[in-house]
Structure formats: C-alpha cells, structure tokens
C-alpha cells in the first residue's frame, strides 16, 4: 500500500492506495473535488495540485507509484483556476517543427519574473502540462528590482555576465529536474518559450540593459528573439528552438504581451482593463479595435518593500487583515506584512477615519502586538508607510484614468478588470477600492487570473498559431509614456487623497 498525505482546507488526511491509478482518480475516490474542465485528458492543466517541496503536478496524468504529500488548492486558488479556464484563449495544438527533433518531444515554458521564475513542462506529443515549478530568481542577490540589477550589470565589472550565468544555471537545474521527473533525456526537450519583463530578457541574452533605465527608456530589442539551445548552453536538445517572446517597451515587457494575448475574446466583454501590479504597475486597456498600454512607477510598497514592517508575500507575511483578525502565509507566527495585508490595514484605517483624506495617520497603528510577533517587536503601520502606499495607489489610479480617457471611454464602459500576477491573487478587491487603488466603479468586474505571463508562454509552446495572435496584438497596441503625458501630474496629485466609500 502507498500512503498519501493530503492537505485540504487546514486539515491533513492520510489515504492508503494500491496505486495503479492516476492521482486524480485516487483523490476523487477519497472524496476530494478537483476541477477537471478537459475531463482528465491532460490538456487543460487545471487539475493541478501541489506536491510538497516539489511543485505543481497535473493530477490526471500523474500515476502514483510512491508515497506523496499533496496540497490541494485553497478556495481562492481554485477560483483562479476556474477563471483561467474561462478566460484563456484556446489554440490548436501545433508545437511546430522542433517537435520533430525527438520521438518523445517535450517543451518548457518559462516566466522570468524579477522575484521568481516559473517553469512549465509540457509533453509535445499529447499537449499535456506535466509539471510546474517555481523558484526564486537567483539574481535577487545582486539587486531586488530591475533598476538595481541594471546598475549591477552596467557598473560592476563582469556584472552582466554574472547575472546571465546565475539565471542560466537556475534554468538548467530546472531542465535537469524535469528530465528526471518525466523520465526523459535532455535531448527530448526540444522547444523552450520564455516570457518575462524586458530587463529579464536582456539579462538572459546578455544584452546591456542600461538604456532601459535612462531616458528616453529605449530597450536594445523588443522583437521576438529566437536562438538555439546550444547558443545558451542549456540542458536541452542542442538544436531546440528557444523563443523569447516580444515586448512593447522598456517597462511593458513580454510578460504583459503574453498575458494580454492569452485572454480569450468574448462577446459580452467589449472593453477590459488588464493590470499587473508590482513595483511597476503595467496597465492595458483593450477595446474591440485596439489596445492602449502604459507603465506606472508605483514604487515597491505593494511588494512590501520600503515599508517599515514590510516583506514579500512569503511564509510569515500577514496577507489579510479585517480589523480584528489577520492571516499569515504558511499559518505560522507573523514576521511582517506583505502588500495585500498592507492594503487591508490601510483600508481599515481609512474606513474608520484613523487616517484622514490627506493620508495623515493619528498615531502608529499596531497590527500585531509584540508578544504575538516572530521577533518580539510589534508589527505596525507608520505615517511613512501610508505615504508609500499613497504614491503607489495614485500612480496606478492615474494610469488607469489616462488609459480610459485616451480610449474615449468612461469607467462605466469597462466590462472587466483582469488582475495578473501574484499580487492580484492575494489582493482583497474591496480593500483596494476602499483606498482608491482600484475604482469602486469596477466592483463585481474584478477577476484574478494568476500568472498570465506563464499562461501565454505555455500557449506559445503548444501552438505556433499563438505567434499570430501575439503579432496581431502588437500591431494594434499603442504605448503611452505617462511621464510625458499632459494629464499625468494632475491626475497623480488628485488620486493621492483617500475618500471613504460605501461598497
């Protein structure tokens, strides 16, 4: 008998099985509900569960042969999987000529984020998503954000080479893991697609990124780049196609292009906003005729940086707060507060008039008293923290205002607001509206889609037809440089205020 430990909604259940069945079948036999929109064919990737300490696996194609510890999606993750399924474009499976390089071809889609790297292994015979892995970006030791990495690459002797080396090492480690996991050789990995922000793609190809940080912010390349596995010394077939997805500008990268292109058109959704909120808020407004996009320098507050007790969305971070209770990622003792928790706390302060319209905080607000925190010090919000959040929320709100005006629309004309990226998964939409980060006019229109950059990279891996979708999107997309826009300064100043609202 094989023992499986299943974590589900704060409980751990132990299952004994004889194996010889897919993980999905075993979970179902034991009463667990799993979302399977493709009916267990291995093609939609939505039946994924997490294997503790490993990564996500596609439960309908994973056969149980040894003991495992499984974590099922929580309510919010399950909802995101459903939304992803509803709103993701369907493309015919046609991985292209490199799939003929092997009898058992596999491909890997990669989302190169500033903080984390996400890898997707796809079987290019069946189209099934076999495994997903996420690891921290090892470049973080040379700078937490893109600007500090650009400085490192430009100012340190050998800096650019070092940044490329560490990312390639990390990619190779994951390719090795995938080969072992799937029981294939490295020569059976025949296609790799890479999405990510413009700086990450420059660093991957060892192209000097300095021009991204200096006015007029012109990257060295934005077009799609194709190289071979052997050019980057990757642990895959030497002739494999490595496709680097195209970007739009210095701060609207391939991650946004992939994400936007992955969204399925719908008759009941004429105009929609796409928001990827982080240190840079990348925003796009798509109408039936065209797309307008921009990037706002929101600052690092939403990622918990430059906040007195701030931290990233990792174990120990307070991720939600409702005035009485807080929740901590990993359910342990709190060590700090991440962006979503910060927004909840500030929404509580605004709603209860502990912060006034100008953002003045009466006194430092203690979220967690000293005796409940990890380091014996209180976790609090200071006046400066409020100021950082004001800068972030007004930059994003001003960016949205300008896109809506440029499109000749009103807020009422927007049919949906898609939140991309990890922050969108955690954020409480009501709190975001209460602090003015997202307009209350978008109530009931907000949909978190998870890692759309990764979704787009997987579509590019599975279908050459997705390339055409991407090229069409690029042709009809216009980029607006907000720093040169007449209305930005005024819009930014107007959105600094907090206004209590009823939802």
Among 17, 43, 335, 401, binds ligand FES (CB under 6 A): 43
- Which tokens is 78 given? 């399950």
Residues in the chain: 503
Kindly state the smallest distance separating residue 118's Cβ from ligand FES, in Å.
17
The encoded tokens of residue 302 equal 């939403």
Nearest of 145, 17, 115, 23 to residue 72 by alpha carbon: 23
CB closer to ligand FES, 119 vs 442:
119
Least distance (Å) between residue 122 CB and ligand FES = 11
Q: How far is the CB of 40 from ligand FES (least distance, A)?
A: 5
CB of 48 vs ligand FES, minimal distance in Å: 8
d(CA 307, CA 343) in angstroms, rounded, equals 12
Q: Where are the alpha helices (DSSP H) in 32-123?
A: 75-87
Decide if residue 42 touches ligand FES (CB under 6 A): yes
Rounded Cα–Cα distance for residues 433 and 503 (Å)? 8
- Does residue number 38 form part of the binding site for ligand FES (CB under 6 A)? yes
419 forms bridges with which residues in the sheet? Answer: 275, 448
| Least distance CB 94 / ligand FES (angstroms) | 18
Report yes or no: 482 and 402 within 8 Å, Cβ to Cβ: yes
Instruction: Give all strands (DSSP E) within 258-354, no chain letters.
Output: 272-276, 280-286, 291-297, 317-321, 326-328, 336-337
Task: Tell me how far, at minimum, the Cβ of 4 lies from ligand FES, in Å.
Answer: 17
Q: How far is the CB of 32 from ligand FES (least distance, A)?
A: 14
Nearer to ligand FES, 48 or 237 (CB): 48
Which span (32-40, 198-206, 298-306, 324-332) binds ligand FES, by CB under 6 A? 32-40
Q: Give whichever of 127 and 341 is closer to ligand FES, judged by the CB atom.
A: 127
Site track for ligand FES across 45-64, x = CB under 6 A:
xxx----------x-x----
Among the listed ranges 39-47, 341-349, 357-365, 386-394, the one in contact with ligand FES (CB under 6 A) is: 39-47
Q: Which is nearer to ligand FES, 84 or 320 (CB)?
A: 84
Q: Which is nearer to ligand FES, 54 or 356 (CB)?
A: 54
Nearer to ligand FES, 36 or 220 (CB): 36
Residue 219 engages ligand FES in binding (rule: CB under 6 A): no
Query: Is 40 a binder of ligand FES (CB under 6 A)?
Result: yes
Q: Write down the least CB distance from residue 117 to ligand FES, Å.
A: 23
Closest to 461 (Cα-Cα) out of 180, 54, 91: 91
Q: Does 127 bind ligand FES (CB under 6 A)?
A: no
Q: Which is nearer to ligand FES, 17 or 43 (CB)?
A: 43
Chain centroid to CA 45: 17
Angle (nearest 5°) at CA 427 between 27 and 490: 155
* End-to-end CA, the chain: 53
d(CA 133, CA 178): 9
Residues 449, 80 contacting (CB under 8 angstroms):
yes
Q: How, if at all, do strands 291-297 and 272-276 pair?
A: unpaired
CB of 83 to ligand FES, least distance (A): 15
Question: How far apart are CB 422 and ligand FES at their closest, in Å?
Answer: 22
Structure tokens at 1: 């008998």
CB count, 10 Å around CB of 306?
Answer: 16
Give the interface segment with ligand FES, choosing from 33-41, 184-192, 393-401, 423-431 (CB under 6 A).
Answer: 33-41
Output DSSP code: residue 183. T
DSSP code of residue 219: -
Among 26, 44, 252, 295, binds ligand FES (CB under 6 A): 44
Residues that bind ligand FES (CB under 6 A): 36, 38, 40-47, 58, 60
């Amino acid at each position: 008998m094989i023992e499986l430990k299943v974590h589900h909604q704060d409980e751990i259940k132990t299952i004994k099985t004889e194996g010889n069945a897919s993980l999905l079948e075993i979970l179902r036999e034991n009463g667990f509900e799993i979302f399977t929109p493709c009916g267990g064919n291995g093609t939609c990737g939505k039946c994924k569960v997490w294997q503790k300490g490993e990564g996500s696996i596609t439960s309908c194609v994973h056969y149980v042969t040894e003991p495992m510890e499984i974590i099922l999606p929580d309510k919010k993750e399950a909802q995101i999987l459903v939304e992803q399924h509803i709103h993701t474009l369907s493309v015919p499976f046609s991985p292209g000529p490199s799939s003929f390089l092997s009898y058992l071809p596999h491909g890997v889609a990669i989302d190169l984020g500033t903080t984390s790297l996400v890898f997707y292994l796809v079987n290019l015979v069946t189209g099934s998503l076999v495994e997903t892995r996420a690891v921290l970006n090892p470049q973080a030791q040379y700078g937490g954000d893109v600007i500090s990495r650009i400085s490192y690459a430009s100012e340190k002797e050998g800096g650019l080479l070092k940044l490329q080396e560490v990312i390639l090492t990390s990619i190779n480690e994951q390719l090795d893991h995938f080969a072992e996991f799937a029981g294939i050789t490295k020569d059976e990995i025949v296609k790799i697609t890479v999405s990510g922000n413009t700086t990450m793609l420059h660093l991957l190809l060892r192209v000097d990124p300095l021009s991204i940080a200096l006015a007029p912010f012109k990257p060295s390349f934005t077009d799609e780049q194709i190289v071979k596995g052997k050019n980057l010394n990757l642990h895959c077939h030497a002739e494999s196609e490595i496709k680097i997805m195209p970007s739009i500008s210095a701060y609207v990268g391939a991650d946004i292009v992939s994400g936007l292109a992955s969204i399925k058109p719908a008759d009941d959704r004429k105009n929609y906003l796409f928001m990827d909120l982080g240190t840079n808020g990348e925003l796009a407004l798509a109408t039936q005729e065209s797309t307008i996009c921009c990037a706002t320098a929101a600052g690092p507050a939403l990622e918990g940086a430059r906040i007195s007790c701030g931290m990233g969305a990792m174990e120990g971070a307070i991720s939600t707060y409702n005035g009485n209770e807080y929740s901590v990622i990993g359910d342990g003792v709190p060590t700090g507060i991440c962006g979503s928790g910060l927004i909840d706390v500030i929404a509580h302060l605004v709603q209860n008039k502990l912060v006034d319209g100008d953002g003045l905080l009466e006194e430092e607000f203690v979220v967690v008293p000293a005796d409940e925190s990890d380091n014996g010090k209180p976790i609090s919000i200071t006046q400066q923290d409020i100021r950082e959040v004001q800068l972030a929320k007004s930059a994003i709100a001003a960016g949205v205002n300008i896109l809506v005006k440029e499109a000749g629309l009103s807020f009422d004309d927007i049919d949906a607001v898609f939140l991309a990226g990890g922050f969108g998964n955690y954020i409480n939409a009501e709190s975001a509206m209460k602090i003015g980060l997202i307009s209350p006019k978008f109530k009931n229109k907000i949909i978190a889609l998870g890692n759309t950059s990764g979704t787009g990279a997987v579509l590019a891996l599975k279908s050459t037809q997705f390339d055409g979708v991407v090229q069409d999107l690029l042709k009809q997309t216009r980029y607006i440089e907000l720093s040169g826009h007449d209305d930005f300064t005024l819009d930014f100043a107007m959105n600094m205020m907090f206004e209590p609202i009823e939802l």
